[in-house]
Structure formats: C-alpha cells, structure tokens
C-alpha cells in the first residue's frame, strides 16, 4: 500500500466518521428533512402552513425539532389585528424542542450550561449581553430582529417562529438548555417569567413580606401563575378576585387561601368589604392587578390598606384609560405603585427553578394547559383563545 492509497483510505474512514458523527448518532433516528412546515400568518385571522427549506447549518447555528409552543396574547393580537404591521410573519415565541443538529462551535447555552444533540431548549426574546435588560429597554433602543423568534418577520431564514415543526436558531441567539423540565413546564416558562418579574418588581417596594396579606385580581393564566409564584416564595395569605367561579376554584388549588367572586357584589364598596372580610377584617398589604380591564385598575386601590403597595401588570397592550381619584386612592393612602412589563433575562433563568419548586410543592401549574392544537389547527387555536375557552392554549407537534 503506497502513501496515496493510505491517504485515500484515511480519507474514506474520516468521511464515514463524518457521516456518523457523534452528534448524528446521539440524535437517535431523527432524520433531518430538507424542508420544514411553518404556520405563517399570511393575512388577518389567517394562518397558512407553508413548506420552507431548512437552510445549511452554520458553525454557530442550532436546528431544533419543535415539540410545542404556547399561544400568547401577543400572537392572538397579531392574528386578529396585525397592530405591529408584521404580516407575513412566523409567530410563536413560547416554544421548546429538541436539538437535532448544531454547528461545531456550539458548546454551551446562554447560561454556560453544556449543549448537546438531544437536549431540550427554549429561546428568550431578551438578549444575553445584559442580563438585566428588559423588553422596555430593547424597545427604547429599537433593537430587534436577529435574536427574536416568533415575533418579527425575517426575510432570510423563514424558520424563525415556534409554530412550526423545525426552528433554525442562529448563532448568538439567547437559548437555554432546559432538558430537566418536562414538555408542559417548558411551554409555560415564558408566561411564568412575566410573573417572576412582576413579583421582583413588587419586592422593590419593601412592602411584600412573608406574612403579607396579598390580593390578586384576575384569575386568568397570569393571575393564577401570580398566585403560584407568591406561594413558592412563602406568601401564605392570598385572596383571589375574579368573576368566574371555576377560575376561583383553580386559584385556591394554586395556593389562594380565600376567593371573592365580584359577580356577587354590587358596587365597589361592597366588593372591597368582601375582600376585607376575606382577610379577617383587614385590607390587603399588597395587590397584584392581573386583568386588562381599566375598571379593574380603578377598583383595586379600594382593596389596599393605607401605606400598602400595588403592582399593575395587566396591561401588556394599551387597554384604554383608567380613572382614579389621586387624593383618595393614592396620596392620602400613601400607596407605593410599581408597573411591570415582560421580564429580564435573569428572571427567565430564575423561572426554571420556580417551575421545579412549584411542582415540588404540589401546585397544579401544568393544569394551566387546557387545549392542545396541531400545526394545521392554528386558526382554531386562536379562536379558542379569543372565545376565552380554557386557560393556556398550546401548539404541540404530537397530539
């Protein structure tokens, strides 16, 4: 055997090894197709499933086989009205899935945790450069695009929304290895991060303590998760306020000690009286306003004691003006008010631990997911959300 023959033999062996790289073999039988299916919002109230080519992977890129993605209020707003003028766009930002291929430079996630084929990951809309930066800062700086999945249109790579069967995560994106969480928990990370952030905002007032009496107004997914976050941090005395008895029942299972159905009371004085009674004759030390209703914002001051605090987090989008009496509601009571919107990267990472803790203490957090739809049913998924059926609606690749 001469040198050339040896060289070609070595070449052949290397090629074979290349074909069965450790990456590919540890991916099990996952065959990577040439194209992926994506639910693209092509018009108002119109998701269409398109077939897009899966681009060649760069050294820093990751290809993820999507397992599921939560439907967010933002997706529904976009589907109904396109308020941000994004159409056509691939939506879905609360997604998670399995790494099926990755470039040779990809070694760790945004928190420094090792990444390998088969790991389960999520993306985050907040850039990793500054863990304390919030969506508010990003908007101010008008940063966006490359790193954001399921929210912004992208002309080059269309596989950038989680309502799809594959998502192409470009190098430099914020990505976390969350293989130690099950699928349902992973789909709840993003909404839970909103509440971890809100409670962190509330803590800055110095009013929220172990023995605080806390009222949570609104028992949709946000209010219910709020109660769960409060429970995991040791708040024991929580009154939930909502107009739906089923949701109030769920609030109690999630950790609320008392519930008040506002449908049973006529006028804000009677309702405030009911909240006071629920706390054994005391008003709340702290309140979380989790509805998108301006009237609910106006009312909530009446539930709070003098010197108490309020976290307003119900208005992700403009819901109109609310009327308050600044003298009676704020000044004379010396209320400390914080607003909360989205989350920071630090809150996102904290949320992984919150979910584990919530499950460990037996909170039925995963029961928030009430409806599952396939990729072909995304319009139906949105309609279900609009009709306010159930709680958390998700897309899953395998129903």
Question: What residues line the site for Zn ion (CB under 5 A)?
Answer: 72, 190
Alpha helices in the chain (DSSP H): 3-19, 22-26, 73-81, 135-141, 183-187, 189-203, 221-232, 245-253, 268-278, 294-300, 345-360, 378-386
Shortest reach from residue 191's CB to Zn ion, in Å? 6
Q: Which is nearer to Zn ion, 225 or 248 (CB)?
A: 225
Q: Which is nearer to Zn ion, 151 or 215 (CB)?
A: 151
Write phi, then psi, for 89 (nearest 5 degrees).
-150, 145
Q: Which two tokens stand for residue 273?
A: 């009286």
Q: Which is nearer to Zn ion, 190 or 329 (CB)?
A: 190
Of the candidates 217, 88, 207, 95, the one whose C-alpha atom is nearest the C-alpha of residue 155 is 88
Shortest reach from residue 94's CB to Zn ion, in Å? 5
Shortest reach from residue 69's CB to Zn ion, in Å? 10
Looking at beta carbons, which pairs linking 266-273 to residues 24 or more positions away fall under 8 Å?
268/299, 268/302, 269/302, 271/241, 271/299, 271/302, 272/299, 272/302, 272/303
Q: Which is nearer to Zn ion, 151 or 363 (CB)?
A: 151
Q: Which is nearer to Zn ion, 71 or 215 (CB)?
A: 71
Q: Which is nearer to Zn ion, 92 or 309 (CB)?
A: 92
Based on C-alpha coordinates, what's the Rg of the chain?
24
Shortest reach from residue 194's CB to Zn ion, in Å? 7
CA atoms within 13 A on the CB side of 176: 26
Q: Which is nearer to Zn ion, 93 or 302 (CB)?
A: 93
Shortest reach from residue 159's CB to Zn ion, in Å? 19
Strands 62-70 and 94-102: antiparallel
Of the candidates 322, 334, 326, 332, the one whose C-alpha atom is nearest the C-alpha of residue 289 is 322
Shortest reach from residue 193's CB to Zn ion, in Å? 9
- Tallying the residues shown for the chain, one arrives at 399
Give the C-alpha separation, 34 to 397, whole Å.
18
Q: Which two tokens stand for residue 231?
A: 């429970």
Give the C-alpha separation, 25 to 228, whole Å.
40
Shortest reach from residue 234's CB to Zn ion, in Å? 27
Q: Which is nearer to Zn ion, 150 or 309 (CB)?
A: 150
Shortest reach from residue 75's CB to Zn ion, in Å? 7
Give the C-alpha separation, 19 to 387, whole Å.
50
Extended beta strands in 54-174, E state: 62-70, 89-90, 94-102, 120-123, 166-169
Q: Which is nearer to Zn ion, 257 or 350 (CB)?
A: 350
Shortest reach from residue 378's CB to Zn ion, in Å? 15
Residue nearest to Zn ion (CB): 72
């Amino acid at each position: 055997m001469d040198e050339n023959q040896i060289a070609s033999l070595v070449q052949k062996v290397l090629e074979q090894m290349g074909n069965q790289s450790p990456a590919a073999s540890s991916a099990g039988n996952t065959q990577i197709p040439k194209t992926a299916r994506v639910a693209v919002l092509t018009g108002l109230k119109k998701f269409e499933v398109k077939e897009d080519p899966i681009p060649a992977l760069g050294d820093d890129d990751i290809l993820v086989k999507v397992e599921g993605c939560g439907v967010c209020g933002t997706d529904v707003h976009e589907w109904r009205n396109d308020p941000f003028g994004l159409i056509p766009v691939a939506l879905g930002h609360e997604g998670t899935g399995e790494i099926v291929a990755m470039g040779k430079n990809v070694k760790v996630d945004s928190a420094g945790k090792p990444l390998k084929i088969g790991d389960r990951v999520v993306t985050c809309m907040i850039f990793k450069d500054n863990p304390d930066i919030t969506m508010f800062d990003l908007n101010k700086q008008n940063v966006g695009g490359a790193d954001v999945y399921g929210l912004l249109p992208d002309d080059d790579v269309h596989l950038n929304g989680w309502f799809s069967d594959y998502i192409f995560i470009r190098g430099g994106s914020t990505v976390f290895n969350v293989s130690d969480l099950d699928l349902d928990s992973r789909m709840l990370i993003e909404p839970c991060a909103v509440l971890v952030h809100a409670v962190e905002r509330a803590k800055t007032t110095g009013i929220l303590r172990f023995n605080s009496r806390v009222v949570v107004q609104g028992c949709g997914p946000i209010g219910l998760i709020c109660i769960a976050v409060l429970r995991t941090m040791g708040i024991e005395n929580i009154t939930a306020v909502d107009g739906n008895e089923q949701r109030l029942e769920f609030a109690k299972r999630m950790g609320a000690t008392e519930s008040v159905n506002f449908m049973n009371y006529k006028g804000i004085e009677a309702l405030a009286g009911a909240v006071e009674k629920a706390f054994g004759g005391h008003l709340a030390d702290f309140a979380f306003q989790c509805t998108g209703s301006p009237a609910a914002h106006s009312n909530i001051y009446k539930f709070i004691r003098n010197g108490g605090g309020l976290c307003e987090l119900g208005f992700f989008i403009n819901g109109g003006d609310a009327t308050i009496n600044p003298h009676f509601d704020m000044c004379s009571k010396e209320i400390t008010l914080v607003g909360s919107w989205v989350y920071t990267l630090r809150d996102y990472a904290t949320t992984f631990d919150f979910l584990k803790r919530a499950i460990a203490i037996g909170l039925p957090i995963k029961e928030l997911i009430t409806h599952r739809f396939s990729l072909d049913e995304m319009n139906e998924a949105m309609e279900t959300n609009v009709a306010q059926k159930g709680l958390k609606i998700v897309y899953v690749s395998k129903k």
